[in-house]
Amino acid sequence: MIYLMTLMVFDFVLMPFFRVGPAQPLLLYLMVPYAVFEQHWNRVLPLALLVGFFRDIFSPGLLGVETVTGAAASAGLILLVRKIERGTAVMRMAASFLYIFLMLYGIFLISKILGGPSYDFPFAFQIAFASAFETALLAPPFFYLTARWFHDRIPLRQYELFG
């Protein structure tokens, strides 16, 4: 929880300095692809719901849109990752790009349908594409640092062979 809150602070305070036009990297969204690649699939949906809930609370959009979109996109990501070779950094970046693009474009579409704050479709596509691309470029160092801090480590056990 503390790590997610830290990432959220980075997203809202520091990442606007890395903005290119209207697009900016979104580190909090990278937690879901990290969980898909590094953890068991049954942990992904609760994490996606939590990430979406955090973003819903602190973003100006309609409440619940990011949560629902995150759950749907994470289900698609789980199905995708089961079918691909997940060891390469390129595949991890591509899957992260696809997840974040679907998340952002889905948020824009649902907001437009529900009458919330939204952009025109070509502009929304450009923002989603650029933000997903910028975030996917940060995926390898993000995955490396997150794995170093939170990787599930198997405890060493010492057995007595001779007694």
Separation between Cα atoms, residue 109 and residue 114, nearest integer Å: 9
Give SS3 for 162.
Answer: coil
Average pLDDT value for residue range 35-40: 81
Average pLDDT value for residue range 32-44: 83
Q: What pTM was estimated for this model as a whole?
A: 0.80
Sign of CA dihedral 40, 42, 46, 52: positive
Sign of CA dihedral 30, 4, 143, 25: positive
Average pLDDT value for residue range 67-80: 88
Among the listed residues 23, 53, 54, the one whose alpha carbon sits nearest the alpha carbon of residue 135: 23
Q: Which two tokens stand for residue 1?
A: 């929880």
- CA atoms within 13 A of residue 112's CA, in its CB half-sphere: 14
Average pLDDT value for residue range 145-154: 69
Mind listing the pLDDT tens digit for each residue in 128-144? 999 999 999 999 998 88
Q: Are 132 and 101 in contact (CB under 8 A)?
A: yes
